[in-house]
Amino acid sequence: MKLRLIVLILEVILCTSLAVSSCKFGSKPKLKVGTNVDYPPFSYRQDAEYYGVDVDLAKALGEKTGYEIEVLNISFEQLIPSLLNREIDFIASAMSITDDRAKLVQFTVPYYQAGQAFLKREDNPVEISTLEALALYRIGSMNSTTGMQLVEEKLIDTGLMPRKNLYLYRTNAEAITALLDEKIDFAVLDDAPARFYATNKPIDIAYEHKTDEQYGLAFRKKSRHYDKFNRALQELIRSGELDKILAEYWLKR
């Protein structure tokens, strides 16, 4: 009886000290990962379940590190604020590693390289051969993305395109809807989700811009989970397990 009491006390102490999202006796400690499920094939919702590269990757890392992973759907622009406010423990959401973001969060080693793509409706006859040629048109982008940043830096800040011609949306789906409804002429997003939409909607890729962006998982600075997850991610890369996850969604690093 005394031994059982000691075990219960130790479990309570462990749960309290872990400071994770939830803890039940006999279960794995839980961590919350934030992702935006409007980003297929990296994160998407189907039949009330979440799927995608980032979802599978987060769960694989949880298996390796001994955590149960709870996936939360959060708008992309609110992911970093949610992390900093301790509403989630880390971010897995096709997030490009940038200098500005790195001032706020700590990124893991990269796990995917991406570029930017501009989509148009299938019935749009315009041919685009340079980024600058897009300055004549209305462009839509999800807010707070590197696609938005590309348009701002290369077209708006250089005086080639008026700011009023950049339309910002909360999600990629909203930008795609605006494109199909002819409210904008082009939509810019990362190349992998752009190819997904071009396969499943009456739209084409009009122009691809190489940026050599790299995705990383994001943690709070000095997070006690960072080192363990960063090492686990490196192991997934070395073992080929990450390549297998990407191949499930017809992608490769």
At 53-85, the pLDDT tens digits run 999 999 999 999 999 999 999 999 999 999 999
Cβ contact 15:26 at 8 Å:
no
DSSP SS3 for 173: helix
- The pLDDT > 90 percentage for the chain reads 87
For the chain, what is the mean pLDDT? Answer: 91
- What pLDDT was estimated at residue 252? 87
- Average pLDDT rounded to a whole number, residues 196-210: 96
Tokens 């279960």 belong to 27
Assigned domain for 5 exists: no
Assigned domain for 149 exists: yes
Q: What is the CATH number of the domain that holds 141?
A: 3.40.190.10
Residues 170 and 187 in one domain: yes
- What pLDDT was estimated at residue 150? 98
- What pLDDT was estimated at residue 253? 83
Rounded to whole angstroms, how far apart are CA atoms 252 and 164?
Answer: 37
Could you list the residue range(s) of the whole structural domain that residue 86 is in? 17-111+216-247
Looking at the structure of the chain, the number of domains it has is 2
| Weakest mean pLDDT among 14-28, 57-71, 126-140, 196-210 | 14-28
DSSP state of 87: S
For 106, other C-beta atoms within 10 Å of its C-beta total 17
Structural element, H or E, at residue 244: helix 241-247
Position 27 confidence tier, pLDDT thresholds 50, 70, 90:
confident
Query: Regarding beta strands 218-220 and 105-107, do their DSSP bridges make them parallel or antiparallel, or are they unpaired?
Result: antiparallel
Residues 125 and 54 in one domain: no
- Average pLDDT rounded to a whole number, residues 3-22: 44
Q: Say if residue 12's pLDDT is above 70.
A: no
- Average pLDDT rounded to a whole number, residues 75-103: 97
Predicted TM-score of the model (pTM): 0.85
Rounded to whole angstroms, how far apart are CA atoms 117 and 227?
Answer: 33
In the chain the first and final C-alpha atoms are separated, in Å, by 55
Q: Say if residue 21's pLDDT is above 80.
A: no
Phi-psi region of 222 (alpha: psi -120 to 50; beta: other; left: phi over 0): left
- What pLDDT was estimated at residue 175? 97
Rounded to whole angstroms, how far apart are CA atoms 10 and 12?
Answer: 5
CB contact set of 214 (below 8 Å; sequence gap of 6+): 96, 97, 110, 111, 112, 113, 114
DSSP state of 1: -
Q: Say if residue 18's pLDDT is above 90.
A: no
Helix, strand, coil percentages (3-state) for the chain, rounded to 5, are 40, 25, 35
Residues 68 and 129 in one domain: no
- What pLDDT was estimated at residue 26? 58
The letter for the amino acid at 55 is: V
Residues 82 and 126 in one domain: no
